[in-house]
Amino acid sequence: MERLTPEEHSTITRYLARPPRSRLDYFFSYATYLVPSFLFALYGVWKNDFVAVAFAYLTLLIAIVYIIGYQTRSSGVFYSAIKKLSHSSDKPSDSDHD
């Protein structure tokens, strides 16, 4: 049986320790990144300030790249851990041979 790395074990433990999130939870977690930039962009449009609009766009772009990068890294660890656990459950254990 393949052993989980400390990072894989930590990821699985954190995932199982928290209750499932609702769509509203996901919305508010992303809204903290999106709403301020969106409001700043609206302010820039209202004041005809190209620099404010560009800054808001750049901020959104950086936030999205960060979120995608974080999710890609964590999903890779999660996938690896689930794959190891799946393969270990497919193999018969020593108690199955008695």
In single-letter form, the type of residue at position 58 comes to L
Distance CA 6, CA 12 (A): 10
Domain assignments of the chain as residue spans, ordered by start: 22-89
- pLDDT at 40 > cutoff 60: yes
pLDDT, residue 89, reads: 66
**Highest-confidence segment of 11-15, 22-26, 30-34, 64-68:** 64-68
**77 Cβ neighbours under 8 A, 6+ residues apart:** 7, 8, 11
Average pLDDT, the chain: 82
Rounded to an integer, the average pLDDT of 17-42 is 85
Query: Residue 44 — very low, low, confident or very high, per pLDDT cuts 50/70/90?
Result: very high
Tokens of 59: 């901020």
The whole-angstrom distance between residue 93's C-alpha and the CA centroid of its chain comes to 34
Strands of the chain (E only): list them. Answer: none
pTM (predicted TM-score) = 0.59
